[in-house]
């Protein structure tokens, strides 16, 4: 357990020490909130769906958690390149604990990132229907972070080329984001898009955040909150097992 704590703390310190990274990582969510939230807001309102900021903010929060958590796998390649990973793997510590520590560290950073975006969203005009349910939304952020941090570690454990990791991440992350319903409601689409969005685990996370924060007659969640939680738990457990297996195969 001490190895898990040390690696978790290392990931957290690496994030908090880099102020430029913290500021830069808020740029894209802020751009989406300002450009789309206020730009498309009048169109969305005239269509009878109310405030677009209310719909968009949970999606941008989920996007921030997604990007931050899945790119934690990039740190694995950096550690491999500069030798820290070798020092960690030769230590008398089970590799499972090392993998869990890195995954939890990346997930914690992602949740912090999501909370910062939540605060910015509130400044931009987003208002939860019930502030007492914000901890439930944070629980969904944690679930999203664990799912995609485990995926990032699994991919980072399978490849050695940093450029290859970035290509794979760009190929996966953008479709996962755009098909999750982060920018549009999930209900009322054709069969093909409906099937695709339901295969995207991020859809359940963002829909769960919206369901607990909005609670409005203008927004009808595509899934029950319990369904979203169960799917995220199942996918997260599966990816943790796959990530642990791939991490155990890393050669020193």
Could you tell me if 53 and 98 are in contact, meaning their C-beta atoms sit under 8 angstroms apart? no
Enumerate residues 6+ apart whose C-beta is below 8 A from 69: 106, 107, 109, 110, 144, 145, 146, 147, 148, 149, 152
Return the percentage of the chain with pLDDT > 90, whole number. 21
Q: Which two tokens stand for residue 122?
A: 């509130």
Which pLDDT belongs to residue 129? 86
Task: Report pLDDT digits (tens) over 33-73.
Answer: 888 777 776 766 665 566 788 888 999 999 999 988 887 77
Average pLDDT taken over every residue of the chain: 81
What confidence tens digit (pLDDT) does each residue in 169-205 have?
Answer: 778 888 898 888 888 888 777 788 888 888 999 999 9
- Entry pTM: 0.88
- 6 vs 102, more confident: 102
pLDDT bin (cut points 50, 70, 90) of residue 106 is confident
**Residue percentage of the chain with pLDDT more than 70:** 78
Both tokens of 222, joined, read 């595509």
Residue 246 has pLDDT above 60, yes or no: yes
Domain ranges of the chain: 2-248
Read off the pLDDT band of 155 (50, 70, 90).
confident
Residue 48: predicted pLDDT:
59
Q: Is the pLDDT of residue 151 over 70?
A: yes
pLDDT at 189: 74
The answer to whether 180 and 206 are in contact (CB under 8 A) is yes
pLDDT of amino acid 216: 65
C-alpha 102/C-alpha 6 separation (Å) is: 9
Say how far apart CA 33 and CA 2 lie, in whole Å.
Answer: 40
Residue 129 DSSP class: S
Q: pLDDT category, 251, cuts 50, 70, 90?
A: low
Confidence of residue 206 (pLDDT cuts 50, 70, 90): very high
Average pLDDT over residues 5-9: 67
């Amino acid at each position: 357990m001490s190895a898990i704590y040390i690696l978790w703390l290392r990931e957290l310190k690496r994030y908090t020490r880099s102020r430029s990274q913290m500021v830069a990582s808020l740029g894209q969510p802020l751009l989406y909130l300002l450009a789309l939230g206020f730009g498309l807001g009048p169109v969305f309102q005239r269509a009878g769906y109310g405030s677009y900021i209310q719909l968009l903010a949970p999606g941008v929060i989920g996007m921030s958690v997604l990007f931050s958590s899945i790119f934690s796998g990039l740190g694995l390649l950096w550690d491999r390149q500069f030798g820290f990973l070798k020092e960690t793997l030769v230590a008398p510590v089970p590799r499972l604990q090392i993998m869990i520590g890195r995954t939890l560290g990346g997930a914690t950073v992602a949740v912090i990132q999501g909370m910062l975006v939540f605060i910015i969203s509130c400044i931009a005009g987003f208002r939860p229907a019930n502030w007492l349910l914000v901890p439930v939304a944070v629980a969904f952020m944690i679930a999203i972070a664990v799912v995609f941090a485990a995926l990032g570690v699994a991919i980072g454990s399978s490849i050695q080329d940093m450029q290859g990791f970035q290509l794979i991440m760009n190929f996966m992350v953008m479709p996962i984001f755009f098909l999750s319903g982060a920018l549009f409601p999930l209900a009322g689409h054709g069969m093909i898009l409906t099937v695709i969005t339901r295969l995207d685990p991020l859809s359940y996370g963002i829909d769960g955040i919206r369901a607990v924060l909005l609670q409005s007659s203008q927004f009808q969640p595509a899934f029950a909150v319990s369904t979203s939680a169960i799917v995220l738990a199942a996918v997260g457990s599966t990816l943790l097992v796959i990530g642990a297996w791939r991490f155990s195969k890393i050669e020193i």
